[in-house]
Chain A
Amino acid sequence: MSVCNIRIFEYCYKLGVSEMKYLKVEVIGVSPPCPRCKKTEENARKAASKLIQEGVKVEVTKLDITAKETISKYGVLMSPAIAINGVVKVMGKVLDVGVIERLLREAL
């Protein structure tokens, strides 16, 4: 954590925002993964690591798009998809790291 981020953290703490937000990122794809699903997971992890460096709690998991639990939760999707905190935000496309990062920040 850089000095600057520690300052932000302390600032938040003083303001009373002691509890940092938590992001649950689910990458939904086929298993075994197709190239596009793999790339999406990779990019999501890269984007997440940037936020993690700033002290945000981000957890990236993978879901199988054809599993019954996934379908009953999210319905019919195009692979690969990304859900943040239980809401599907993207489907059927591979996004760049920067775009996913923006998406994560919007969800904060």
Chain B
Amino acid sequence: MERKRALKTTLMLSFILFFAIMMVRAIVGAYTLTPTSTAEDLKVLPLWKIPLVYIWDYAQHGWICLGFAFTVAGLVSEFIPQGFMMRYMSSGKPVSYLVATLIAPLLCVCSCTMVPIFAGLIYAGGGIGPALTFLLVAPANNILADIVTIQVLGWQIALADMVAAGISAVVIGYLVSKTPWGKKFERQFKNNQGQVASVELMKQPVDERLWNALKFGGYLAKRIIPAFLVGLVAVSYFQAFFPADLVKVYLTGASGVVLAALLGGPLYTPTLIEVALGKALVDLGMSPGATVAWLMGQPYDIPNSLSTSRIVGWKIVISYGVLAFAFAVSSGLIYSLLVGGI
């Protein structure tokens, strides 16, 4: 029994180590983990072959990055101190903003975990501000998307996106909590504050926790990869046939930033696809500033807004949507200025 456990633990550790080493190798050797096909390569192929070639191209380079990202996402969400995090995030003090921005990205959550936490924060009297901060940061900045963004779009853009998304989420959360309708909404739950819930999380041995982590990583992969593949089919046609001239005219300059923020928002792109689509757009000539705005437009897509509006009402959703748009545009512009001219 003991030997079987040791064997299982060794196997799991080697699996994790394998991806870590491959990833380090790729970074040190500066291998590209993203597709190298250009519009010219794709255009000459028969229609049915375009997605196959493109996906093969992704699979060849991207499997290390994806495998690493899913493994890390699983590990982090298993080993994060959950009780601590929930307690501080729902405390209703300024520190909860900090916890929401810094720790929420570590949780790789699908909407079926995110919405309950959001609703929970509100009903437990944690305040609408931290709850919104959490809601805005979690999808934009989660660790899975971050690893892939760094690999696909480069660390400069990924870092700009993370920092800008973090700052804007805190400011937006704070501003919305100070609006008259935000305050009115919050008052309903004031009395719930400070209740002590009975939570005594069980402690598990390390081998079981590793298993939990890998299982969760696998679960995420199973959920995300099929949608990612379908998305890549669309992206491949997009890359092959979308006129580069259009991108160069409309997705550069100040107006390009505004347009990218507008497009990146309401358009619902499952996790990771906005990165792939962003990469296709960059290859076609989208400016760096517009790319940042494009990535930041994510938290206010339509399905997400619908589910939150059921909890907080349309007024609050529209307020944070407008603010998030403004922040996406201004971050895009600031980034353009930083990297040298719009």
* Residues of A bordering B, CB below 8 Å: 30, 34-37, 65-66, 68, 71-79, 86-96, 99, 103, 106
Residue contact B121 to A76, C-beta cutoff 8 Å:
yes
Residue contact A90 to B208, C-beta cutoff 8 Å:
no
Which residues on A sit within 8 Å (CB–CB) of B116?
30, 65-66, 77-79
If the complex has contacts A73-B197, A87-B199, are A92 and B126 also in contact, measured as CB distance less than 8 A?
no
Bound CA span A66–B195, Å: 16
Bound CA span A30–B117, Å: 11
- Tell me the B45-88 residues at the A interface (CB within 8 Å): 77-78, 82, 86
Residue contact B198 to A78, C-beta cutoff 8 Å:
no
If the complex has contacts A87-B200, A89-B202, A99-B204, are A30 and B86 also in contact, measured as CB distance less than 8 A?
no
Which residues on B sit within 8 Å (CB–CB) of A72?
123-124, 192, 195
Residue contact A91 to B112, C-beta cutoff 8 Å:
no
* Residues of B bordering A, CB below 8 Å: 77-78, 82, 86, 89-90, 107, 109-110, 112-113, 115-117, 119-121, 123-124, 126, 192, 195, 197-202, 204, 208, 211-212, 215-216, 219, 223, 311
Which residues on B sit within 8 Å (CB–CB) of A74?
197-199
Bound CA span A77–B126, Å: 13
Which residues on A sit within 8 Å (CB–CB) of B115?
30, 66
User: What is the distance, in angstroms, from B198's C-beta to the closest C-beta of chain A?
Assistant: 5
Residue contact A89 to B201, C-beta cutoff 8 Å:
yes
Residue contact A79 to B113, C-beta cutoff 8 Å:
yes
Which residues on A sit within 8 Å (CB–CB) of B90?
75-76
Which residues on A sit within 8 Å (CB–CB) of B204?
99
Residue contact A86 to B82, C-beta cutoff 8 Å:
no
Which residues on B sit within 8 Å (CB–CB) of A30?
112, 115-116
If the complex has contacts A74-B199, A76-B90, A89-B201, are A68 and B123 also in contact, measured as CB distance less than 8 A?
yes
Which residues on B sit within 8 Å (CB–CB) of A90?
201-202
If the complex has contacts A78-B82, A78-B86, are A91 and B201 also in contact, measured as CB distance less than 8 A?
yes
Residue contact A75 to B120, C-beta cutoff 8 Å:
yes
Residue contact A76 to B86, C-beta cutoff 8 Å:
yes
Q: What are 17 residue pairs bridging A and B, where the CB atoms are less than 8 Å apart in the complex?
A: A37-B112, A66-B120, A71-B123, A71-B124, A72-B192, A72-B195, A75-B90, A76-B89, A77-B116, A77-B117, A77-B120, A79-B112, A79-B116, A87-B198, A88-B199, A92-B77, A94-B216
Bound CA span A47–B123, Å: 32
Nearest CB in chain B to that of A64: its residue: B116
Nearest CB in chain B to that of A102: its residue: B202
Which residues on B sit within 8 Å (CB–CB) of A93?
78, 212, 216
User: What is the distance, in angstroms, from A29's C-beta to the closest C-beta of chain B?
Assistant: 8
Bound CA span A95–B77, Å: 14
Which residues on A sit within 8 Å (CB–CB) of B113?
78-79, 92
Which residues on A sit within 8 Å (CB–CB) of B82?
78, 91-92
Residue contact B200 to A65, C-beta cutoff 8 Å:
no
If the complex has contacts A71-B119, A91-B201, A93-B212, are A76 and B77 also in contact, measured as CB distance less than 8 A?
no
Residue contact B117 to A78, C-beta cutoff 8 Å:
yes
Bound CA span A30–B118, Å: 12
User: What is the distance, in angstroms, from B113's C-beta to the closest C-beta of chain A?
Assistant: 5
Which residues on A sit within 8 Å (CB–CB) of B109?
78
> Which of B126, B198, B201 interacts with A76 by CB under 8 Å?
B126
Bound CA span A73–B196, Å: 9
> Which of B110, B192, B198, B215 interacts with A88 by CB under 8 Å?
B198
Which residues on A sit within 8 Å (CB–CB) of B121?
76
Which residues on B sit within 8 Å (CB–CB) of A88?
197-201
User: What is the distance, in angstroms, from A22's C-beta to the closest C-beta of chain B?
Assistant: 17
Bound CA span A66–B124, Å: 11
Bound CA span A89–B82, Å: 12
Bound CA span A99–B195, Å: 30
Which residues on B sit within 8 Å (CB–CB) of A73?
197
Nearest CB in chain B to that of A87: its residue: B198
Residue contact A66 to B119, C-beta cutoff 8 Å:
yes
Which residues on A sit within 8 Å (CB–CB) of B212?
93-95
Which residues on B sit within 8 Å (CB–CB) of A76?
86, 89-90, 117, 120-121, 124, 126
